[in-house]
Structure 1
């Protein structure tokens, strides 16, 4: 089991500073099983990519994003390659003005520098200057743009069956009507329940699943052509077009630029055609 970044006692109580920040770079993959604690947690990657599971959602987190996890929410993490990341733990009482639901936020240079400063603190009591920096971190969590990098799972058993089948074979290009017949549900019910239970239409959900898997595969240095074909695209151009609509840039530029630029062009909400 991966060693915790702070002690369980600190994670479960208000002992010590109300805000604790940690940066860590290692040589091993980091895997933390499902757990929860009383402190809220903001986490992100310094380099590379993290996969984070929170409740019934999955997030893929590159270095330009961070995930906010409110107190007492069950979550798990794994790194893609050697772990290089940061975490901020905030005592429960101080989380009241922060988002009540888990979310992904776009990083800012200000938040990155504030976390770096906070990770250097060693005192049990924050002085006036440190409290101001901690306040900046809280303000940034509240105000930074939210990003749709999560993949919520539907609750309906029939839709779950479809979702699990899709995530196991994202190259399966069956249309929604064909999936509905396979799962013994009407197309109208499938369409309505996907939106009600995940916030995505069926086509948007499948694109989101493909996008998150693409980020994982690209972070493992797989060729773009290989990624495109394994995700069910007829050609690499169609995959690159989808990626650019969703992330605001091409895969190559995205992975070469995010470390230097924490805020690339805003992503579009356009989705792929259902038959893609």
Structure 2
């Protein structure tokens, strides 16, 4: 491994964690608002998580918005890019092949409980070559148990492969509050409304309206996770009232918009770790 690890410091280079002789390797790394990680892939499966800030993670097939209450399970070898919304405190877990056995073989959003949050934070504070038979080994075992038991959530946005439709979807992602109808977009995309409607269903499994709503939900999660006010988010995403936006958001996500706003809790540490066990 790098000289940092030999000196007892934890590396922030993901490559240094792909061959660690442990079931789980945990990397802490912080990023400023707007930072972009270009498309890449890793040998190990990973849990992409941040205790603060929101990430937009993209593959060739879909887009996910990941606030602090969620994490993205990423199988090994999948090309992906990440854009930060707000200052992001990323805490990534890289899992050895045997530790990842039984986890999904496709990307999935996972709920992060208070207990799992503190376990992940604690893992980034342990030595990289932690004692598997000591307390650190028990923490890793708990992490794996929580990951394997946790349900996945249908919070993703399928991306089409058709070039015309992909360009349209990219434009909507850039301006999710755009109110243009499918007929108006058809002229922009140089395709008939019927063709676009068919392509949406064929390539994403969603109607144009459902795809745009899901895009707005995910965008709202990112903005709310970055601390933006609910009213501001509702108006910028094209809703006439906060109540209409809140009703849509709750139907789609199962939670109120305010639930995605940053909580005023103390930074994670040993006290928080103890509370997580007490409340778990």
TM-score (normalised: structure 2): 0.76
The 3 A distance-change label for structure 1 pair 114 and 170 is closer
Return the alpha-carbon distance in structure 2 between the equivalents of residues 131 and 259 of structure 1.
28
Partner in structure 1 of residue 275 of structure 2: none
Return the alpha-carbon distance in structure 2 between the equivalents of residues 123 and 52 of structure 1.
26
Match of 1:99 among 78, 82, 104: 104
Partner in structure 2 of residue 119 of structure 1: 124
Partner in structure 1 of residue 261 of structure 2: 255
Partner in structure 2 of residue 20 of structure 1: 25
The 3 A distance-change label for structure 1 pair 9 and 48 is closer
Shift of 1:178: 4.8
Match of 2:69 among 40, 64, 67: 64
Shift of 1:202: 2.2
Shift of 1:259: 6.2
Q: What do the CA deviations read for 1:60-87 (whole angstroms, capped 9, x no partner)? A: 1111100111111112223223221211
Match of 1:5 among 12, 22, 25: 12
The 3 A distance-change label for structure 1 pair 142 and 220 is closer
The 3 A distance-change label for structure 1 pair 165 and 112 is closer
Please list every run of 5 or more consecutive structure 2 residues that lacks an aligned counterpart in the other structure. Answer: 1-9, 267-280
Secondary structure of the equivalent of 1:81?
A: strand
Please list every run of 5 or more consecutive structure 1 residues that lacks an aligned counterpart in the other structure. Answer: 261-276
Partner in structure 1 of residue 91 of structure 2: 86
Range 31-40 or range 248-257, more displaced: 248-257
1:33 aligns with 2:68: no
Range 223-232 or range 208-217, more displaced: 223-232
Partner in structure 1 of residue 176 of structure 2: 170
1:108 aligns with 2:113: yes
The 3 A distance-change label for structure 1 pair 116 and 224 is closer
Match of 1:149 among 155, 170, 185: 155
Q: What do the CA deviations read for 1:181-234 (whole angstroms, capped 9, x no partner)? A: 6542453x5445424422433222101111222233334444433322322222
Report how many aligned residue pairs link the two structures. Answer: 254
The 3 A distance-change label for structure 1 pair 67 and 204 is same
Match of 1:234 among 214, 225, 240: 240
Partner in structure 2 of residue 138 of structure 1: 144
Q: What do the CA deviations read for 1:118-173 (whole angstroms, capped 9, x no partner)? A: 22321525422444432332333233121233222111223223313322333333
How much is the aligned-residue C-alpha RMSD, in angstroms? 3.0
Indicate conservation of the 8 Å contact 2:226/2:262, yes or no. Answer: no
Return the alpha-carbon distance in structure 1 between the equivalents of residues 63 and 164 of structure 2.
19
